[in-house]
Structure 1
Amino acid sequence: MVQQSPVAGTIRKPVNPRVESYKNLWRRLRKNKAAVVGGLLILVFLVAGIIGPYLTTQDPNLPQISIKLQGPSAEHWFGTDNYGRDIFTRIIHGMGITMTVGFFSVALGGIIGVFLGIVSGYYGGKLDTVIMRIMDILLAFPGILLALAIVSVLGGSLTNLIIAVGVFSVPAFARIVRGSTLSVRRLEYIDAVKALGASDARIIFKHILPNVMSPIIVQLTLRIATAVLTASGLSFLGLGAPPPTPEWGAMLSEGRAYMQQAPHLVLFPGLMIVLFVLAFNIFGDGLRDALDPKMNK
């Protein structure tokens, strides 16, 4: 609707509430300097992971024994490993693998967890009890041990690693979404929509899901950091991507035997894992504060 300005002869443009809410979110988010730094780091990782492999000139898996265990230099920025492979090239190629595992595993866990959480919170009763008890059983296991057990059964591969990390992410999403759904379900407008004859599917996807998206988005961001850390740990134990895949956790595992002779073999992959996890954690914390109305009063 077009609104007329108090000044005669001028017309104010209509305000889109959704666009305005995004602008307000950005204004609140950019006040958090740590979150901005985290967001910039994530952007750098994304760009490097997507276009970086096309800019590197060396083969990440080609051994060159004659130059093995060389330190950082102008030719090899991060040095070479015990097979003479360029560590910088392997880290750049491994960035895409790390992001693939993190994003796809969290997406898998998020889809299943959100569905179970909404169904459990909306319908309640025995269905709620059964779903939540299953989630409690999964939560009783430490995440890394649960993922370790799944990978041990399925076998070590990148696909199985994504499945394992995704499964242990399900309970966190389910419990958060269930709590939010219980709150939204009690609102009066939900009763009004029911009275008008709306189906359960319409109520869930059109009225409940949009109102529980804030905690889902925050959980997705924070969970990526946990997923990458868990995936790197499993690869370090030899249960992730098979060699010679340049996965950061596997690179740490290969380099631990040369820590005293060539510490750069573990320094740079370990540093990348720390930066990646830190970036998503501080950005997720800032996003949580920006989306929480109680933090912005």
Structure 2
Amino acid sequence: MAPAPVSPVRRARRRRKFRPGLTLAVLFLAWVAVAALAPQLLTSVDPLEVSPADSFTPPGPGHIFGTDESGADVYSRVVHGAGTSLLIGLAATAIGVVFGTIIGLFAGLSNRFVESAVMRFLDVTLAVPELLLALVVIALIGGGTLNAILAIGAAGIAYYARLVRAQTHIVRQSAYVEAATTLGFSRLRVVLTHVLPNAIKPVLVLATIGVGGAIGAGASLSFLGLGTPPPAPEWGAMLSVGRNFISNAPWLILVPSAFLVATVLAITAVGRDLRRRSEGRVAR
């Protein structure tokens, strides 16, 4: 007995379910996660091990991505650098979300005068590009990985604060919040059990996309010599050193930049898909 023919509508749905780009993004992020948590599973070479005799070895069987000016294996440095780059992105985004949520919730629940004062301050902050604001913070507190995380996180606070404030206005006017207030629940209980969880949900989805931007900002600061200092295996620091040898060893620029761009694009693709799903939209 011949199988029943598949309708065009069902065939189109199957094509929409399988998205090669999103699948590749998830697989690449899985590789980045393994590299960050257990780099020894991907390479056994010490990223700080130098061998001057092997300096500027081009990509080949012995060194899949070649070696740098000190003879260190570029692939090993890329693998171990994923942990630092991912740490900067996640930690900086967490700082922005936490403090942005506190400020946005405070503004959304305050009276009109206080809310207006807070929002005008946030508007002034948002008028300055995030990377430039991070550079200002770095100039005040100094460079280094930890200070780079603090600077990038501080630069993103205003963005998340505006989102939380807007969501707070929507949630506080909903029926379940009015019902909880009518039942005599305390203001603190209403805020913690009803307003905060529902106001922060869409913000957390957008924060996924923000992780990619924070990773890029961290690499930019390291490239300028204000983030993770060399010879630490970090993608931005690798770019900073590799630019000096771009004429005779272009792989020192191409390899870390390719992994940096791929990571940001993969995080953005996954974040956009999560955003579509949270809004109930089907990706075409």
- Report the TM-score when normalising by structure 1: 0.85
CA shift in 2, pair 1:286/1:59, >3 Å:
same
CA distance in 2, matches of 1:132, 1:45: 37
Overall identity of the aligned pairs, in %: 35
Query: Quick check: 1:118 aligned with 2:91?
Result: no
Query: What displacement does 1:33 show?
Result: 4.7
| Aligned AA (1:82) | E
Query: What displacement does 1:92 show?
Result: 0.8
CA distance in 1, matches of 2:133, 2:228: 18
Unaligned runs of 5+ in 1: 1-26
CA distance in 2, matches of 1:32, 1:116: 38
Count of residue pairs brought into register by the alignment? 269
Structure 1 match to 2:206? 219
- Which piece of structure 1 moves more, 31-40 or 45-54? 31-40
Structure 2 match to 1:151? 138
Query: What displacement does 1:126 show?
Result: 2.3
2:251 corresponds to which of 256, 260, 264: 264
Query: What displacement does 1:219 show?
Result: 1.6
Q: How is 1:273-284 mapped onto 2 (pairs within 5 angstroms)? A: 273-284=260-271
Query: Quick check: 1:286 aligned with 2:273?
Result: yes
Query: What displacement does 1:55 show?
Result: 5.0
Query: Quick check: 1:95 aligned with 2:82?
Result: yes
CA shift in 2, pair 1:295/1:131, >3 Å:
farther
| Aligned AA (1:249) | G
1:65 corresponds to which of 52, 55, 60: 52
Structure 2 match to 1:16? none
Structure 1 match to 2:154? 167
Structure 2 match to 1:45? 32
Query: What displacement does 1:43 show?
Result: 1.8
CA shift in 2, pair 1:176/1:32, >3 Å:
farther
Structure 1 match to 2:7? none
Query: What displacement does 1:130 show?
Result: 2.3
| CA offsets 1:53-109 (integer angstroms, 9 cap, x no match) | 465322212321111011112121110001111111111111000111000110011
| CA offsets 1:195-248 (integer angstroms, 9 cap, x no match) | 222222211221112222432122211100110111111100000012211110
- Report the TM-score when normalising by structure 2: 0.89
| Aligned AA (1:97) | T
Runs of 4 or more above 4 Å deviation: 29-33
CA distance in 2, matches of 1:39, 1:58: 26
Query: Quick check: 1:237 aligned with 2:224?
Result: yes
2:119 corresponds to which of 125, 128, 132: 132
CA shift in 2, pair 1:174/1:35, >3 Å:
farther
Query: What displacement does 1:138 show?
Result: 1.3
Query: What displacement does 1:42 show?
Result: 1.6
CA distance in 2, matches of 1:295, 1:198: 38
CA distance in 2, matches of 1:165, 1:237: 14
CA distance in 2, matches of 1:144, 1:30: 37
Query: What displacement does 1:37 show?
Result: 3.1
1:250 corresponds to which of 237, 241, 260: 237
SS where residue 220 of structure 1 aligns? helix
